[in-house]
Each structure stands twice: as structure tokens, then as C-alpha cells.
Amino acid sequence: MDPQTARLAAADEILLIHAPRVSASASTPFLLNHSLAITGITAVAGGQPVPVRWVEREGWEPRDFWRRPQYAELDECDHARQIDLFLEDARPDRAWPESLRVEIRYQGVVYDSLQPPAENYQRGFETTTGLIDPRGAYLSRGTFWYPEHFDQPFTFELTAAVPDGWETISQGARITAPSHAAITWVCEQPMEEIYLIAGPYVIREEIHDGVAIQTFTYGHDDEELCRRYLDATRDYLELYSGLIGPYPFAKFALVENFWQTGYGMPSFTLLGDKVVRLPWIISTSYGHEILHNWWGNGVFVDWESGNWCEGLTVYGADYLYKERESAEAARDYRRTTLQGYLDYTRSGRDFPLTEFRERHDASSAAIGYGKSMMLYHMLRRRLGDDGFWKALADFYREYRFRSADWDDLLGVMARGTDLDLRGAFHEQWIARDGAPSLRLAATDLTPRPDGTYELRYEIEQTEPVYALAVPVRLTYADGPAETWTVHLDGRTFAETRRLAARPRALAIDPDFDLFRRLHRAEVPAALSQLAGADSVSFVIAAAQNEDLAAAGREVAAEAARVDPATVVADTDIVLPDLRAGSAWWLGEPGWLASLTEQLPAGVRIERQRFVIEGREFDRAGHTLALALPHPNVRDEAIGLLIAFDGESLRGVWRKLPHYGKYSYLVFAGTQNVAKGVWDVERSPMVMIWDEEE
């Protein structure tokens, strides 16, 4: 690789296998980046040269690679062209050798500029199909930097010559030549693609239980940072090896990237130079990327039937860490997950898990990550801890380095149980879009002469009907709570229970253990509600200085290019006029006083300061963002973004997608200094007879 010119020169030797008696007139097709020119192809079989020729097409034919191409998902191949390889002697009585080695030599420029995400959402970052740059190089299957046939997984050996001071990273184990002029990676595990990352890295390495634990960072003074990552890697490998099975690769490496990414590759993760230094990454996202070496990189996804591994990785990493923190933290995570689904999948943006391939916006993340994660939670509740983790260990052992689909996974989980996971469960939760919607339809608490109480309650669900195991909880002023599960497989369920004492409250699914569509009253107004709105009005405060007004107009115009939006000045509209969709107010509207009733208790927006939950913030130097229930439109929200200058308004706006679950945020410049959610006072899933003191 030559980073100064972005050029790549390569020779790829491939072991090509044919079935017996494949006619010599048949071609062997492959794809290659259209910027890479072939300089020669030679072939050898049984130690003897085999004359071959090749034909380069302008485009490519998907049916040459798949019997049933998924045309909607092939945009990533637009920058590749098809090469058809033929035997030079194609007489009718000739056949391809069953085994031959083909060497393909090619060279050219690889530089696809970084592109911003199509939608600014929490996990969005710049993307490229591949580039070689003085700052570093990134090559993947999507680059088509090596001949691609979309065939069975393969092993490989890769040797790369890079400039002095550079290092490379790929799958497998690293073998450095004595001269260090070239670096070799040997991958003995079957892979679906080859990555090649390179840059001016400093390598640090330790061995733990036979696994090389490595860091590749740009800085020579990163000892403390790398020490934390090396220790965390060891802890995560021990955790998941104990829960699931042996780590499947020779190494795991943290690799720093020159643009902001959060990629998980087999045996390494590629994190942006800013991301890698965020204080919470090691205890959250880093473990997620390590777990992908079991799910996705250790057991492959059969993409045709949907991506099961993202939700499973979220459940075994992001969610599990919250569960280990506390029961309350785990409950909040489940509630936030359900709130994300509620906010981001409105107006036709929902789809079944069989159609999920990868995350590309907030709605696809809410389904492929959020809904899927909740299904694993429900399965774990049904199977129990021991049964759930044993099933995953069995699944990993049986499908390691093989492709698996939802039915394969559910079939293993159903063993030894009477659960119809591959039938009714799959049809209800995976093949169908949507979510059940429940409510506590009726309650009747009657005191009896003997001092006991008779409780009758009814749970109702809307169409379509789901078969559900619904948690129910009774709490008392004194004494422990009672919790039980009812099986709801029709429109309603009702029962009567005799109680020894007067209860304080009855709650349906109080801990958000079911995947369901929440009632808006169950969750606080949050920024995700605005981000997921079908349409948004932007109201620009006209009385503020021109710098702020211009920044507000710029932000609103940018948002309007992605989603339907209207932009008006606050002098041209009053609060009662806002009667469609959600609304963002950028700056302090002249009629802010009319919002007083919407502000939660303890929140004040004054001329010189903000006051939120007992904390005071000077207006000079601080920016406030908050979400409130819309006073005029049910299920919609209004947002306030009040900044002290245009630069802060723009900077905070760009950060808001990363804080979707919060009701309010305070920034000093663009640094978050306070965040929180409003309290929920009433829920249609709860009946309260006696308020707590």
C-alpha cells in the first residue's frame, strides 16, 4: 500500500474448487473494485500451468452469484465490476480441473471519501467502502479490494507491505517477518470476509490463557489508556468464555481509527480516536464488540432469514452490564428500550425481524436491536438462567464457524422444553411486525366481613392478539409484594383473588419484562419522542440576536432536508396554532410564559438562569434542551433548545441524537453537565388505592 497516492498493488492466490465435470465453457465469476485494474491471471493444476483468459464486464449479474439475489440489498456492490474467468481451451469435451490455484494480480487507487450517515442518530457515524490515506487505511469486503465470489467461508494468509512506522491489523494471528518490511496475518478460522486496517500504530501485547490481547493506538504515551483496555479485554474474555464457551480466535485487539467508528470485526474492534477515549466505553460498548466474536463472528448469521445476533449481543453485553449494576438499572434499560420502539417505529416504520439485516437509522435499531433484545429477555424468563445460558452454550458449540438462522437458534433453545419456539413463538415475535398493546381494563376491590378483601381485575389487549405470559404485582403498605404470571392468549383475561389485607396498588408488567407497545403515559416525554415524530415544526425565536437566529434557521433547514418539517418565526405563530406533529423551539420564544403549565415542578427558565431539580445554571455559557408533552396534540412532544450563542446551538443540536432517552439536558458549551428524565405519575397499567407516604 502507498498511502501518499492511495494505491494498492496486490497478488491474490486462490484455491479454486469445482464440482466434477464442470464444462470448460462455463465461467468462474468474481467481483473486483472498478478502480483496480487486473495486470495478469495465471493458473496451476497438478503442478502444471492451466491457460486461462478473462473478460471484464461493465456491470455485474447478481444471478451469477446467487440463485435468489436480494436486489434491495445490493447497492454496496455498485462500485464493483464483474470478471469472468474462462479456460483458454473450452472444447466441449474439456472440463475445469476440480482443484486449481489461480493467481490474480491487480493494482489501482482505493479512496472512497468519508460520507456522513444518512440520518443523524445515536449510533450513526461516517462511512466509507474503503480508503487508503496518509492517516490510515481501511479495507473490507465492501471495498472489493480482493476478488469476491460470495462463496463459503474461507481461511487465508495475508502479507502486506506498508510504509516504515506503519503496522497492519487483520483477522488471525500476527507473524512479522524478520526484516519487518512486510507483516503477515494467518487466519486458520473460516471467515466470510477479509479486513485490512493499517496506520502508524504502536502495538502493546499480553498473553492471557493462550490468547494474544493487543492494543493498536496512534500515541506513544497511551500506556495508562492501553492498560485499562488490556485489563478489560481479559475480564470480558473470562466472562463470556464462562457463560458461552471458549474464545474462538488467536487474539483480540483494540484498534484505534482516525475517524469515529464502533466496528466489531472477528478478533478485533475498530474504535474512533475520540470514541476510544470516552470514559464509559470500556464498561459499555467495548464489551459489546468483544461479545460479537461469539455472535456474528464466531457463529455466522444466515442473512436471508434475518439478523438474530445484534439483539443477542445487546442482551449479553449492554443489558447484562446494567443487570449486574442493579435491578433498577436493568428495569430502566428495558423501559428505555420499549420507549425507543414506541418513539421510532411510527407511521409504517415497523417491520418484522425476518427483514432486519443491519442498523441504518433509529427505527431499524429500535427493531433489530431493541425488539430482539427484549425477546431474549422473555426467553430467559421462560427458560430460567441456567437453561438460557446452557442453550446458548449448546448453540455456540454446534454452530461455531457455521451460518445459523432464527430457527436454528430457537430449535436449540426449545430442547428439553414444551415450548413451541420454532412455530408459534417465531410466527408471533419474529415473522410478524408490531407489538402487543395491553391495559388494565377494570379493577374491583371489595372488603369482606371477615377482614379480607376480594380483588377482581381484567387485562385487555388490542388486536392482533398475542399469547403472553403477563407479570402481575400487588403491593401492600406493610409486608412483601405478591407477584404472579397470568397467561393471556385472547382479548381479555379476568380473575378474582382473595386477599388477606388491603393492597396499596396493582400493576401489570410493572418491571417492563414484556415486549409491548407502551402507553404514552407510562414513560416521560423524552428527546426520542421528537426524533421519532412523523413531522416537526421548527419555531425560531425572532427576538434573539442574529447569530442565534441564523443558527436556528440553519439547524431547522438541515433537519427539513431529512424529514418533513416546517420553519416559522415565533412572531408569526402562537402556541395554540401548533396542532400537527411535534415542535422544536430554537431559542427563547417571546411567549415562553405560556409554557409555564407544561414545565414539571421544580423547573424554571428565568432571565439569568435555568433551575432544574434543585440545580442552578447561569444562562451565560449554558444551553438547555428539554422535551415536554405537547399541550395540543396527543402523543406528540414539544422541545426547547435555548443556547447563549449560535455555535453552542449548532453543536448541541448535533449531539442530541446521542441522548434520546433523556427528558432534559444542560450543556456547558457542548459538554453535557446535567441530564435526567421527568417522573411518571400515573400509568394505565397501574391501579393505586393508597398513595405512598
Whole-number pLDDT of residue 348: 78
Considering the domain architecture, whether residues 571 and 639 belong to the same structural domain is answered as: yes
Whole-number pLDDT of residue 179: 55
**Would you say residue 648 lies in a domain?**
yes
**Would you say residue 690 lies in a domain?**
no
**Would you say residue 1 lies in a domain?**
yes
Considering the domain architecture, whether residues 294 and 314 belong to the same structural domain is answered as: no
302 and 410 Cβ atoms separated by less than 8 Å: no
pLDDT above 60 (res 68): yes
- pLDDT tens by residue, 400-421: 999 999 999 999 999 999 999 9
pLDDT above 90 (res 321): yes
Average pLDDT over residues 276-287: 93
Q: For 115-124, 271-280, 662-671, 676-685, which range has the lowest pLDDT when averaged over its residues? A: 115-124
**Would you say residue 129 lies in a domain?**
no
Q: For 29-38, 459-468, 651-660, which range has the lowest pLDDT when averaged over its residues? A: 651-660
Considering the domain architecture, whether residues 294 and 217 belong to the same structural domain is answered as: yes
Q: For 110-124, 139-153, 230-244, 333-347, which range has the lowest pLDDT when averaged over its residues? A: 110-124
List the CATH number of the domain containing 26: 2.60.40.1730
**Would you say residue 343 lies in a domain?**
yes
pLDDT above 90 (res 435): yes
List the CATH number of the domain containing 635: 3.30.379
**Would you say residue 652 lies in a domain?**
yes
Whole-number pLDDT of residue 238: 98
Higher pLDDT, 116 or 378: 378
Considering the domain architecture, whether residues 231 and 162 belong to the same structural domain is answered as: yes
Q: 10 Å Cβ neighbour count for 348?
A: 9
Please give the model's pTM, rounded to 2 decimal places. 0.90
Where among 266, 298, 330 does a domain terminate? 298
pLDDT above 50 (res 634): yes
**Would you say residue 516 lies in a domain?**
yes
pLDDT above 70 (res 13): yes
Considering the domain architecture, whether residues 635 and 670 belong to the same structural domain is answered as: yes
Whole-number pLDDT of residue 335: 95
Whole-number pLDDT of residue 354: 96
CA angle 593–595–601, rounded 5-degree value: 105
Average pLDDT over residues 508-534: 93
pLDDT-derived band at 360 (thresholds 50, 70, 90) equals: confident
Mention every residue, 6+ apart, whose C-beta is less than 8 A from residue 587: 540, 541, 544, 548, 549, 552, 570, 641, 642, 643, 649
Q: 10 Å Cβ neighbour count for 327?
A: 10
Q: What is the Cα–Cα distance from 180 to 176, expressed in whole angstroms?
A: 6
Average pLDDT over residues 234-258: 97
pLDDT-derived band at 593 (thresholds 50, 70, 90) equals: low
Backbone angles phi, psi at 470, to 5 degrees: -100, 120
DSSP per-residue codes, 39-75: EEEEEEETTEE--EEEEE-SS--GGGT-SS--GGG-G
Whole-number pLDDT of residue 98: 94
Give the chain's domain count.
Answer: 5
Whole-number pLDDT of residue 117: 66
List the CATH number of the domain containing 474: 2.60.40
371 and 311 Cβ atoms separated by less than 8 Å: yes
Considering the domain architecture, whether residues 197 and 85 belong to the same structural domain is answered as: no
Domain that holds residue 590: 527-676
Considering the domain architecture, whether residues 465 and 565 belong to the same structural domain is answered as: no
Q: For 2-11, 267-276, 575-584, 586-595, which range has the lowest pLDDT when averaged over its residues? A: 586-595
% pLDDT > 70, the chain: 96
- pLDDT tens by residue, 418-432: 999 999 999 999 999
Average pLDDT over residues 351-377: 94
Considering the domain architecture, whether residues 305 and 405 belong to the same structural domain is answered as: yes
Considering the domain architecture, whether residues 408 and 531 belong to the same structural domain is answered as: no
Whole-number pLDDT of residue 180: 63
Q: For 57-66, 109-118, 330-339, 473-482, which range has the lowest pLDDT when averaged over its residues? A: 109-118
Q: Under the phi-then-psi rule, with left for phi > 0, alpha for psi from -120 to 50, and beta for the rest, what region is 61?
A: beta
Q: Whole-number mean pLDDT of the chain?
A: 91
List the CATH number of the domain containing 235: 3.30.2010.30
Where among 522, 549, 583 does a domain terminate? 522
Mention every residue, 6+ apart, whose C-beta is less than 8 A from residue 278: none
- pLDDT tens by residue, 679-688: 887 888 999 9
**Would you say residue 131 lies in a domain?**
no
- pLDDT tens by residue, 324-358: 999 999 999 999 999 999 999 987 789 999 999 98
Where among 380, 414, 430 does a domain terminate? 430
Whole-number pLDDT of residue 121: 46
pLDDT-derived band at 540 (thresholds 50, 70, 90) equals: confident
Whole-number pLDDT of residue 78: 87
Helical (H) or strand (E) element with 122: none
Considering the domain architecture, whether residues 87 and 199 belong to the same structural domain is answered as: no
Considering the domain architecture, whether residues 544 and 649 belong to the same structural domain is answered as: yes
pLDDT-derived band at 557 (thresholds 50, 70, 90) equals: confident
DSSP per-residue codes, 420-466: -IIIIIIIIIISS-S---EEEEEEEEEE-TTS-EEEEEEEEEPSSP-
pLDDT above 80 (res 159): yes
pLDDT above 50 (res 108): yes
pLDDT above 80 (res 594): no
**DSSP state at residue 24:** T
Considering the domain architecture, whether residues 353 and 294 belong to the same structural domain is answered as: no
